[in-house]
Every structure is written in C-alpha cells, then in structure tokens.
Structure 1
Amino acid sequence: MILQTPKANTLEAIRPETLSQYLKARGWQESGDFLGNASVWHRGEELEVLLPKSDRLRDYKTRVREIIDVLEISEHRDRQQILNDLLLQPTDLIKIRIDSPDIIGGTIPIDEAVRLYEATSKIMKFVASATIEPRSVYRGGMFAEVREYLHELRVGETEQGSYIINVLSPIMQEHENFGRKVNLFLNRALTAINTTTKDVLAGSNIDIFEQSVESGVSSNLCDALLEVGNYTDLQDLSFRWQWSPMWDAPAIAKEKLALSKQTFPVLKEASKLLKSKNIIRKRSESKMQSQRSDHLTPISGKVIGLTRRDDADMASVIILAKIEGRDRELQLELSESFYAKAVHAHLARRKIAFYGEIVRESEAIAIRNVRDLCVV
C-alpha cells in the first residue's frame, strides 16, 4: 500500500534520535544549529533539511513531513518504505536464495517449503548459539538469549525467479545489539566455510575445519546447511545481506556469499569430524571479545609484507588498507595463529579482515588490539 500523506500520529511516533541515526547512516552530515531548536543537515551541496531537537515543538510534525519529502526525492524510494524504516525497530534483512531447475515460477512443493523454512530456523539458531559460545557441536537446550532472538525473528514475503527466503533479523539494541552480532557471525561462518572448503578441495585435510569453530562453524550448522543443500538439483545456495538503513553497514562483512553444490559433500564430512570433537570456547571469553569488537574498527586489506623472528612471540605484517578514504600501509603485530592466516592470505593473493584499534602517532597511523582476523 502506498501512503500519499503520512498520518499525524505516525509522524509523532518518529523520534528525533531515530531521524538523526537514519540521516547519518544515509550519508547526511550535521552542519549547524538553527535558532537553538533544530540542527541543519546537508547531503552534498543541494540537499538540506532541518531536524527538530525535540518532538514537543509545535511544528514537529510539519518538519518531519518535510524531511520525508526530501528523502523520498533523494533516495528515489516510496515514502511508505521510508516510513517503515523509521517506524520499525532496526532490522537487517538476510535473503537466502535457492537456485534449482526444479523451481517453477518462484514456487516449490509445499513439503520442500516446510523443510527449507525449518532448515533456515536451524541455521539462525546455531549461528546465534555460536555468537554466545562457539562449539564444534551443540547438544541439549538453548541459551536464553538465543530463544529470545528466535522469538523476534521474522520471515518476509518470498520472491520469484529462484526461491528466496527473506529473513528479517532485528538488531536488538536493548540486548547489546545481539541480533546484529548474529548477522555478522553468520557472515563470518559462511566465509570460513567457503575458505576452508576450497582448501579441502585443493588437497588439505578435512581436519582444518576444526579451526573454523571460532568463526561460528559447528556440526549443527553444517547439518542445517545440508538440509537446504539436499534440495533437488540444487545449483547454488546464496546469502545476501541488506543491512538496516538505521545503522552503518559493517565494512568487514561481505554483501553476498554463495555455497556451490561442490560445498555440500565437504560439509557432510566436516559435520562428522566436528561431531567427534568437543571444541568449546568459554562463554566469558566469547562475550568479552564480542564486546571489544563493538568498540574496534573493522579493517580489511592486502598483505604486502611479512616479517618474523624465530625468537619472537609476535610477528609483523604490513598490509595495504583504506583508512578514512585513503590507501595506507599499516603494520600489524600478530600472534602465531593470526600470522599463519596472514601468510595464507599472502600466498593465495587474498585479503585479510579484522577488528582493530586505530591509534594516531604523529603523522602515522598504527593498529593495536587486532581481533577476529580471517582470510577473505
């Protein structure tokens, strides 16, 4: 339904803080104050809006309506879509796409649909579990946080062409942004599966999947993906993220990841391996790392230099990365496990991605506290 004129009570429900966050995420910049009652926002040289500082101002609804009018023009989107983004809680969208010749006009048999939705629920359940405590296998009940997250999870309308399941995943600001962390962990786990599967197909031992547990890969996740992968004549299973317009898109995450049909026989063996292990990262350590990562900057870059002394606990790596819009050479001090990943990335001509603290030292920039390093 297209709403031609926003209703007054709808506009009253939009908070100034929500509008401010939305404008920042869309590239607007606050450029000044207007009579103490509003702030001036610009995007480029032509677009300007006045954002009221309080929703108690007499002309608040009028100003909000004017902002939405400008956004409708600048974003080339229907005003109802913009209103939905402003009124609904911040939500990321995960589009799970199944490509198969068996799909006719965007439809599938009902029994297959039931199985696919059940498998999707399991995928989100076990990634959410890994967000709290990465394990090689999960047995027994769920964490309370996972149960609450699954209760808030929603599924939107499907799309035609192939068969697409739209998973609406709330960010859950009131719970330390747990939903956004789950979405990032899913991105991270699928990246690890892709990377490790390629290594196995190239001749590496299946045991290297043990290293992917810290990235959120478990036998349960492998089995859930296999349930989708067992779909008749599956050609491709892809995941695409549309990050909430209310929040900045995480630079470290990939927008799209695809698992080819060659992935699933490897996942079957990986699941068997991980079931036989008892790898658990302590919950306190995982939560501390997640909290630290919230305050660190996502960075990715190409490895251009490697230095390691036999008697040193740490090794040096130089990467080329874009910081504040400029390409910079950055030196990292890495642990042995992170250094091994950097070497692998260098040999494979791939990038590394991680969280780190950007420290300015005169004209130079240094990176401290490197966390969650992976090859992308």
Structure 2
Amino acid sequence: MSVELKKAIESITPDLLQGYLESQSWVKDGTISNKAIIWHRDNVDSYSQEVIQPTDSNIRSYEQRLIEAIKSVAEFESRTVLAVIDDMLNFSSDLIKVRVVHPDVEGGTIPLEDGVLLIEKSRDLMIASTLSTFKKQKVFNGSRSQNAQDFLSKLKLGQTEIGSFIVNLISPIEINTEIQKDSCETSLARSVTVNLARSLTAISEAMNNYANSKSVFDFEETVTKGVSANLCDALIGLSGRAKTRRFSIMIKAGGLEPGPIHYSDNYEFSSQSIPNLEAASEYLKGRYTVRNFEVCGFVSVLKHLPNEDNGQIIVKALVRGKIKSIAIQLSLDEYWQAFEAHKVGNEIACIGTLNVSPKSAQLLDPKGFDVIERKGGIFDDET
C-alpha cells in the first residue's frame, strides 16, 4: 500500500463511508456479527454489486476490510480508489479549489510572498462570498455580523496540492436536525457555495460584456448576484503580486447535502482579465469614468475669483438615476451664461468626460455648453 493511500485511508471513518454509500443509493442488506454491514444496489440489474463495510474500527483487519470496501465502490463507479476516497473525505464539506498556473509554480512550489498572498486572497474570496450571502451590496467595510463571523470561523484550509499550485478551501456542511433534512432547507455552507458560484458566473459574464462595450455600467447588475468590490479584489490578488498568473476556481459540492448547485463548477481567469476586474472593483467602490457623458441640470453653486479667466459651477444632475453634484470648469463667457441661467432658473447642458469618486464628481473637457430656457416664467404654475 502506498504512503498516500495509507494516509487517506486513515481519515475514512465508518460513519463517513456509510454516509457516502447511502448518498450513492446503496441499500443495507444485512449485517455480519455486528462488525460489518452488507450493501447492495437497489435495482435488479446491478444487485450483484456488493460492498462489505466494516463498522468496528478496533478489529485487527479493519484497514484491509476498509480498502476492500472502497475498491468495490471504485470498481462499480469505474473510478480510481483515490478518487473515491477524495469524494468520501469531502462528503461532509463543500470544497473550493483555487489553482494558479504560471511557469514559476510548475514544480509545486511558489515564491513565499506570492504564497502568502494566495492564501490571504483565497480567504478574502470566502469572506466576500459569505458577506454577500447575508446582504447584497457593492462594498463591505467595517465589522461583520455574528452569524457571518461564526460561519467564517468554521472554514478550513486543506492541504495544498501539486498541480501548478492548488489551495483547498473546506466549508463544512452542518445539518443539525432531522427537520432540516426532511424540509430540504439549505445549510449556510451550501448557501455560501451557491452564492460564490452565482457571483463568479455574473462577474465572468459582465467582464465579457465590458470587453465589448467598455461601459462600466455593465457591472451594476452583478451586485444583486453577490458580486462586490471585495470579491473582485480577492480575484485580482489570486493572480499574484505582478498580476500575471492565470488561475481557476473549482467548486465541488459535498454529498452530505444533496441537490445540484445549478452553476458551473469551474471558472477560469486569465491574466488578461485582470484589468476588467480592476474596472469592476473601481466602479463598485464608486470610482469610474464615463466618456461623452451629457450633464443636464440646474446650477447650484458658482465660484469665480477676480482676475481669473474661468469659473467653476456645480450642477445637480442625474447619473444612473441618482442626483449627483457635478463640478464643471468653464470659460469666463460660459461661466457668466451659467450665472444668468442660475438667476432665472434655467438648466444648462454640456458634454464631457465624467469622472466620479465616492465623494465628488467632475466633468472634464466640457464641450457644447448650452442654456436650456424654461417655457414661461420661473414662478409660473406647472401644468
């Protein structure tokens, strides 16, 4: 027996093997001296398939009997023993595998600083997915809820693997009552896993759209699907300090909680996708640029110092359905036109590059300044 197989076998408990067999539609068909359970398939065509599961780990031949049982399962499933053991070990947990690919990790090692960053950003990925499971928002700052913190404290870091370089994140499934099993309620672990898959699907689709449209507003609708700036930053970090590594995220649902996730189980990100993720992150943080944006609204503030040949106005205008105060630098002639428009209650309009940050907005390189005259007097009743 190989060292790898022996180490894996040591982690298979009788309850774990029994749970796996039950989840794969094996049926109990008797016992042997209270030391083993006989299992068969539940249909006539494959009833001859048999697994003898040892239930007493204290018997002298327990390890050999366990290997024979797993070999029987592997033969029926047409898979390797190690593949079946891997599924059994992760039976009670959802598994997220983060794999990075780059020439400097092909030997199964990774530069220390990047290795630390990889673990840190893998953790941040799960934090972002957990927080957006409870509440959908663009950015998460500050303290976390107790429910979120309790769940995050139960996550585990599995052994890293050679395969370019793989980090295993283990999310234990907790189904505490028969009521939960019978009513098919979803565990928090599975809810977070589904939310992660949903958000990765949404950001992948939005990045494809953004690559063609160059409109940051393509990222707006991703928020309702669990995407946040925190998630984008975690994904960016997985590409390494130089942002040059390709990486993938594989999601494997534990068998303890039945039912499909309904999303892809593998997501690929190239180094070329990093600028798009950065654009998404900046937009969700409230920092973005829109070219050829038309500002149309009322002047609320005017600023002009003596001897200056320009002036600044603040315009209250709609941006994506929300009122923003937009600063615009105008020539002196246009400034005085805006001044008169403000006096009589007319709107102004001009086009430029809208630069937005969380606390301010500015229209750069304004062109086509115009005053939109109101019909009737400023105090006339509207009809």
**TM-score under structure 2 normalisation?**
0.57
Alignment-mate amino acid for residue 111 of structure 1? E
1:23 is aligned to 21
1:41 is aligned to 41
Shift of 1:249: 5.7
The 1:265–1:233 alpha-carbon spacing in structure 2 relative to 1, beyond 3 Å, is: closer
From 147, 162, 165, the equivalent of 2:164 is 162
- Equivalents in 1 of 2:165, 2:71: separation in Å? 35
2:201 is aligned to 191
- Equivalents in 2 of 1:116, 1:190: separation in Å? 18
Report the RMSD for the aligned CA atoms in angstroms.
Answer: 3.8
Shift of 1:41: 3.1
**1:138-160, CA deviations, whole angstroms, 9 ceiling, x for partnerless residues?**
11111223222222222222223
2:100 is aligned to 98
- Equivalents in 1 of 2:237, 2:42: separation in Å? 49
- Equivalents in 1 of 2:114, 2:67: separation in Å? 45
- Equivalents in 2 of 1:87, 1:116: separation in Å? 24
The 1:50–1:270 alpha-carbon spacing in structure 2 relative to 1, beyond 3 Å, is: closer
1:180 is aligned to 190
State how 1:107-186 maps to structure 2 within 5 Å: 107-174=109-176, 177-186=187-196
* Residue pair 1:172, 1:180 contacting (<8 A) in 2 also: no
Name the larger-Rg structure: 2
- Equivalents in 2 of 1:161, 1:50: separation in Å? 33
Unaligned runs of 5+ residues in structure 1 are 56-60, 278-376
2:264 is aligned to 254
* Residue pair 2:160, 2:167 contacting (<8 A) in 1 also: yes
* Residue pair 2:114, 2:240 contacting (<8 A) in 1 also: no
- Equivalents in 2 of 1:40, 1:158: separation in Å? 36
2:246 is aligned to 236
DSSP-derived class of the 1:152 partner: coil
- Equivalents in 2 of 1:103, 1:33: separation in Å? 49
Deviation beyond 6 Å, 4+ runs, structure 1? 32-35, 61-66
Moved more, 262-271 or 111-120: 262-271
- Equivalents in 2 of 1:47, 1:135: separation in Å? 54
Query: Does 1 or 2 have the higher relative contact order (CA < 8 Å, sep 6+)?
Result: 1
Shift of 1:86: 5.3
- Equivalents in 1 of 2:89, 2:271: separation in Å? 40
* Residue pair 1:97, 1:164 contacting (<8 A) in 2 also: yes
DSSP-derived class of the 1:107 partner: coil
DSSP-derived class of the 1:140 partner: coil
* Residue pair 1:99, 1:234 contacting (<8 A) in 2 also: no
Alignment-mate amino acid for residue 200 of structure 1? Y
Alignment-mate amino acid for residue 124 of structure 1? M
The 1:151–1:272 alpha-carbon spacing in structure 2 relative to 1, beyond 3 Å, is: same
The 1:83–1:112 alpha-carbon spacing in structure 2 relative to 1, beyond 3 Å, is: closer
The 1:133–1:251 alpha-carbon spacing in structure 2 relative to 1, beyond 3 Å, is: closer
Unaligned runs of 5+ residues in structure 2 are 32-36, 57-61, 178-185, 288-383
**1:67-86, CA deviations, whole angstroms, 9 ceiling, x for partnerless residues?**
5453243344448x767865
Fraction of identical pairs, as percent:
28
1:14 is aligned to 14
- Equivalents in 1 of 2:148, 2:235: separation in Å? 19
Alignment-mate amino acid for residue 187 of structure 1? A
- Equivalents in 2 of 1:217, 1:254: separation in Å? 16
* Residue pair 2:91, 2:254 contacting (<8 A) in 1 also: no
* Residue pair 1:41, 1:51 contacting (<8 A) in 2 also: no
The 1:113–1:235 alpha-carbon spacing in structure 2 relative to 1, beyond 3 Å, is: closer
Q: Alignment length, in residue pairs?
A: 263
2:280 is aligned to 270
**TM-score under structure 1 normalisation?**
0.58
**1:107-148, CA deviations, whole angstroms, 9 ceiling, x for partnerless residues?**
111111111111111110010111111111111111223222
Shift of 1:173: 2.4
The 1:19–1:128 alpha-carbon spacing in structure 2 relative to 1, beyond 3 Å, is: same
Alignment-mate amino acid for residue 166 of structure 2? I
DSSP-derived class of the 1:262 partner: helix
The 1:123–1:233 alpha-carbon spacing in structure 2 relative to 1, beyond 3 Å, is: closer
The 1:51–1:180 alpha-carbon spacing in structure 2 relative to 1, beyond 3 Å, is: farther
The 1:97–1:47 alpha-carbon spacing in structure 2 relative to 1, beyond 3 Å, is: farther
State how 1:290-305 maps to structure 2 within 5 Å: none
- Equivalents in 2 of 1:234, 1:267: separation in Å? 13
The 1:191–1:83 alpha-carbon spacing in structure 2 relative to 1, beyond 3 Å, is: closer
